[in-house]
Amino acid sequence: MSDRFDLVVVGGGIVGLASARAIHRRDPRLSVAVLEKEPAVGLHQTGHNSGVVHSGVYYRPGSLKARLCHDGRAALLDFAAAEGVPSRTVGKLIVAARPAELGVLDELHRRARANEVDGVARLGAAELLGRLPGVAGLGALHVPSAAIIDFGAVARRLAERLAADGVAVLVGRALRSARPTAAGWRLETGSGEVVAGYVVNCAGLHSDLVARLMGTDPPVSIVPFRGDFYRLSDRLRDRIPTLVYPVPDPRLPFLGVHLTPTISGGLLAGPNATLAFTREGYRRGQWDPAEVARQLAFPGTIGLARRYGRFAAGEWFKSWSPAEYLAAIRSVWPSATAGDLGPRTSGVRAQAVRRDGRLEDDFVFVRSDRALHVLNAPSPAATAAFAIAEEVADAAGVGGGAR
C-alpha cells in the first residue's frame, strides 16, 4: 500500500514546514504531507543558525530577499506571538571598523530606507560608544527592529500545528528516488512508497540533489559552507545585550562574525564561512569522497576558487585558529580575550553556486513538470520562511483560501 497525497513537501526545515502550512491554509481540501529524512524536524540549517530575525537592511532593493524578508519577518513574529514561541527585539549595531567601510554603511542605510526598515539611524563613533560602552568603531547603523528567536522551536511548533490540522509530517522518511507518472510522482522513501500529485522540494543542503533525482538539471549547485560559533563568557554576555555585526563585504552573501545574544540567555560569536567537504559536516576535518568528487566535477568550482580563494583561505584559518577568530571579534569588541571563548558549535549553510563560480545572491525557485524546487534559501530564509511559503503556494498553483 502506498501513502497517497495531492502534494508532498520534501524537507522538514522551516521553509518546507511553512510551505506546507501555507498550502494547507489556502486549500484545506488538498491532502498534504511533509517528508523528512531525520527522526525529527528542523535538525539541519533550521536548528543550527544565529537565531536572528533579520529586518532587511542588507538586501538589494527589489530582490526576493528584500521583499520576502520584510514580509516574512512580520508573519514569523505574528506566528511566534500567537503560538507562544519566545522572541525578543534586541536591536542591532552594524559597526564600521575601518574608514573604507563607512561608504558601505551609507549604502546599507540607503538600502534600509528603500526596503522600508523602520527606525534605522546612522551613528557617529561617540554616539556608538554612548549606546554600547566597550564596542569600537568609526560609525555604525542602529537597526532597532532586529530580534532573536529559536528557529528550531518555530519548526517544532509548525510541525505540531500541521499534524493537528491533518497534514502528515512523516519523519524518518528520506526521499531516495522519484518516478514521474501520468498523474504526478511515485516517491521511494526507503520505508515505503509515497504517491504525490505535486512535489515541492525544500531539501535545503540536498535541494540540488533532490531536483536531479526528479529529472531536473538545476541551474545552480549547492556548496556547503560551515559556520563555526563560539559561546562567549558570561562577562561579555552581561555587557552585550544587543546584536553587534561588522560591516559585511558587499561581494559576499555572508554577514561576518557577529555577536549574538541568544533567546536562551547566552551570547554567541560567529559564524565564519568555510567550505565544507560534506553536506552535513558539522565537525572540522569531516569529508565525504562522493561530495568532493561532485564538487570537483562541477564547472563552477574553478570559478569559485578564482573569485573567492583569498576569502576562503582567511575563513579556513579562522576555523582552525582561535587567535584568528578572536581577531575578528576584537575588530568590534577590542577587550575580548582568549579566555572569553567557550565551547564551539557549528551550522552548515546551503549556498547555491552558479556554473560560472559566482555565489548566488538571491533566493532561487525553479519550476518543473508537477514540481517546484527551492534551490537557494540561505540566510535570511529562516526569517523569510512564511513569505517564501506564499511564493511556493503561488508557484504550485494553490490559490485562494486564508493567508
Ligand X SMILES: Cc1cc2nc3c(=O)[nH]c(=O)nc-3n(C[C@H](O)[C@H](O)[C@H](O)COP(=O)(O)OP(=O)(O)OC[C@H]3O[C@@H](n4cnc5c(N)ncnc54)[C@H](O)[C@@H]3O)c2cc1C
Q: Strands 121-124, 258-261: parallel, antiparallel or unpaired by DSSP?
A: unpaired
Per CB under 6 A, the list member of 58, 378, 390, 393 interacting with ligand X is: 378
Min CB(129)–ligand X separation in Å: 26
Residue 382 is a binding residue for ligand X (CB under 6 A) = yes
User: How many angstroms separate the CA atoms of 193 and 184, rounded?
Assistant: 13
- Which residue type sits at 139? G
Distances (CA, A) of 59 to 63, 117, 318, 379: 7, 11, 26, 11
Here's the x/- map for ligand X, 328-367, by CB under 6 A: it reads as -------------------xxx------------------
Task: Enumerate residues 6+ apart whose C-beta is below 8 A from 389.
Answer: 15, 18, 19, 21, 22, 23
Choices 239-247, 292-300, 314-322, 380-388; region in contact with ligand X by CB under 6 A = 380-388
Residue 381 is a binding residue for ligand X (CB under 6 A) = yes
Residue 73 is a binding residue for ligand X (CB under 6 A) = no
Here's the x/- map for ligand X, 293-332, by CB under 6 A: it reads as ----------------------------------------
Quick one: 169 or 205, whose CB is closer to ligand X?
205
Per CB under 6 A, the list member of 21, 48, 92, 373 interacting with ligand X is: 48
Here's the x/- map for ligand X, 156-195, by CB under 6 A: it reads as ------------------xx--------------------
Residue 36 is a binding residue for ligand X (CB under 6 A) = yes
Min CB(146)–ligand X separation in Å: 10
Handedness of CA 355, 306, 275, 102 (dihedral sign): negative
Number of residues that bind ligand X (CB under 6 A): 41
Helices (DSSP H) in 46-150: which residue ranges? Answer: 64-83, 101-114, 125-131
**Bridge partner list, 232:** 341
Quick one: which of 395, 256, 374, 377 has its CA closest to 318?
A: 256
Min CB(149)–ligand X separation in Å: 9
Residue 211 is a binding residue for ligand X (CB under 6 A) = no
Quick one: 35 or 141, whose CB is closer to ligand X?
35
Residue nearest to ligand X (CB): 13
User: How many angstroms separate the CA atoms of 18 and 35, rounded?
Assistant: 13
Query: Which cell numbers in the block locate residue 184?
Result: 504526478
How far from chain centre, in Å, is Cα 277?
A: 19
Residue that is written with C-alpha cell 552585550 in the block:
240
Residues in the chain: 403
Residue 56 is a binding residue for ligand X (CB under 6 A) = no
Residue 246 is a binding residue for ligand X (CB under 6 A) = no
Min CB(227)–ligand X separation in Å: 3
Residue 46 is a binding residue for ligand X (CB under 6 A) = yes
Residue 10 is a binding residue for ligand X (CB under 6 A) = yes
Min CB(50)–ligand X separation in Å: 3
Quick one: which of 38, 42, 119, 111 has its CA closest to 385?
A: 42
Task: Enumerate residues 6+ apart whose C-beta is below 8 A from 313.
Answer: none
7 within 8 A of 200, measured Cβ to Cβ: yes
Residue 383 is a binding residue for ligand X (CB under 6 A) = yes
Per CB under 6 A, the list member of 7, 23, 43, 326 interacting with ligand X is: 43
Quick one: 132 or 159, whose CB is closer to ligand X?
159
Quick one: 139 or 332, whose CB is closer to ligand X?
332
Residue 242 is a binding residue for ligand X (CB under 6 A) = no
Residue 203 is a binding residue for ligand X (CB under 6 A) = yes
Per CB under 6 A, the list member of 271, 281, 300, 357 interacting with ligand X is: 271
Quick one: 125 or 195, whose CB is closer to ligand X?
195
| φ/ψ bin of 289: left (φ > 0), alpha (ψ from -120 to 50), beta (otherwise) | alpha
Quick one: which of 370, 316, 378 has its CA closest to 351?
A: 378
Per CB under 6 A, the list member of 7, 14, 128, 259 interacting with ligand X is: 14
Residue 21 is a binding residue for ligand X (CB under 6 A) = no
Quick one: which of 260, 273, 254, 366 has its CA closest to 315?
A: 273
- Helix axis angle for 64-83 and 381-395, nearest 10°, is 100
Residues lying near ligand X in the complex (CB under 6 A) are found at 10-16, 35-38, 43-46, 48-52, 54, 174-175, 202-206, 210, 227, 271, 347-349, 377-383
